[in-house]
Amino acid sequence: MVPPEHPFHLAFPVDDLVAARAFYAGTLGCAVGRTSSTWIDFSFFGHQITAHLVAGAKAVATNEVDGDDVPVRHFGLVLSWGEWEALGARLRAAGVDFLLAPHVRFAAQVGEQGTFFVRDPSGNALEFKAFRDPENLFRARPPGSPIER
- In a 3-state reduction of DSSP, which class is residue 22? helix
Provide the residue ranges of all domains of the chain, joining segments of one domain with +: 1-56, 58-149
**Taking Cα atoms as reference points, which of 81, 6, 3 lies closest to residue 42?**
3
Burial of 131: CB neighbours in 10 Å, binned 0-12, 13-18, 19+: buried
Number of CB atoms found within 10 A of residue 105's CB: 19
What sections of the chain are H helices per DSSP?
A: 17-21, 81-93
CATH topology of domain 58-149: 2,3-Dihydroxybiphenyl 1,2-Dioxygenase; domain 1 (3.10.180)
* Distance (Å, whole) CA 11 – CA 85: 27
pLDDT at 100: 96
Q: Would you state the pLDDT for residue 46?
A: 92
Homologous superfamily, domain 1-56: 2,3-Dihydroxybiphenyl 1,2-Dioxygenase, domain 1 (3.10.180.10)
- Give me the pLDDT at residue 146, please: 57
Contact 132, 81 (CB under 8 A): yes
Give, in order, the Cα–Cα distances in Å from 83 to each of 2, 58, 88, 98: 16, 29, 8, 17
Structure confidence by residue, pLDDT tens digits, 19-50: 999 999 999 999 999 999 999 999 999 999 99
Residues of the chain with pLDDT under 50: 148-149
Q: Are 1-56 and 58-149 the same fold in CATH?
A: yes
Torsion of CA 118, 120, 126, 131, to 10 degrees: -50
Global confidence as pTM: 0.85
The CA–CA distances, whole Å, from 67 to 18, 54, 62, 63 equal 35, 33, 12, 10
